[in-house]
Structure 1
Amino acid sequence: MTGRAGAADEVLVRRLFGDHGGALVAYAIRLTGDRTPAEEVVQEVLARAVREPESLAGDKGAVRARLFTVTRRLAAARPRTEATEPEPAPAIDSVAVLSALEALPRDEREVLRALYFQGRDVDETAATLGVEAGAVKSRTYHALHRLREMVVAPLPGAAG
């Protein structure tokens, strides 16, 4: 394709990818088990859409549904790739976590207890403790950072 048709096709592909690409790639990854074949599937889906512009008739939701259907069919036609399993995280001793929790400053400990042990959300925790939601978020960040430092041993050779 050259000239105007090629430019129009490129604009169409860019628009389709801008509107639906992220969701299509994520869906294709779940179906194929790996990013590379997923991206190949999405490329083929978009190429078919350009070759069959009648498939793009309708509102954005209808177009998205058709693109997902084609993605599912193309991914099903490919052999599934098993993603490499990540290394398992080292087991963390619950006694160590509870000991570290007790070593936190009182305000940070209270926030974590409310959020994680009592199941409260940020606003409920803020109301219960009489502080702003921003303070709850800040205390949570700092408390989790401290816990991680106290409980998770640094990896060999890691800069600390």
Structure 2
Amino acid sequence: MWLLSYATRLTGDRYLAEDVVQETWLRAWRHADRLTNGKGSVRGWLLRIAQNVAIDIHRGRRARPTEVGFDGEALANTAVQSAPSDEVENRMVVGELLDHLSPVHRSAVVEVYFTDRTAASVLGVPVGTVKSRLHNALRTLRDQFPSPLPEAA
């Protein structure tokens, strides 16, 4: 823990400090034969290795172009907008697929997947009937078209 604290003070960045500590332990492990009882303390030796690693990282960053920051969480929360032409194409494809279903199956699919209403109450049928219609509709579409379709809910 003390080594991580020292590396954090050296780098000013907790994540970079973790990299420094990891590299410090690797270098110490590879060169354990250099440490003898008569040549200083283990703590001082590890601190010097950590300082050398931090210097190496700093010099390496100065020699290379500046890295671009990446905020993965912000990117993950950013909505991706599709082009209007993609939406038109999707509607056309879905419309053509729905044309291959019977009216009762089509209405079940539309109510469950495309509206925010409860399908059973809108269609006036029991929930089991809606599930059965969805199952049969998706099976029909899978049999006619080999592309992957969503599973029934």
Pair in the same fold by TM > 0.5 = no
Larger Rg: 2
Higher relative contact order (CA 8 A, sep 6+): 1
* TM-score of the pair, normalised by structure 1: 0.33
Q: TM-score, normalised by structure 2?
A: 0.35
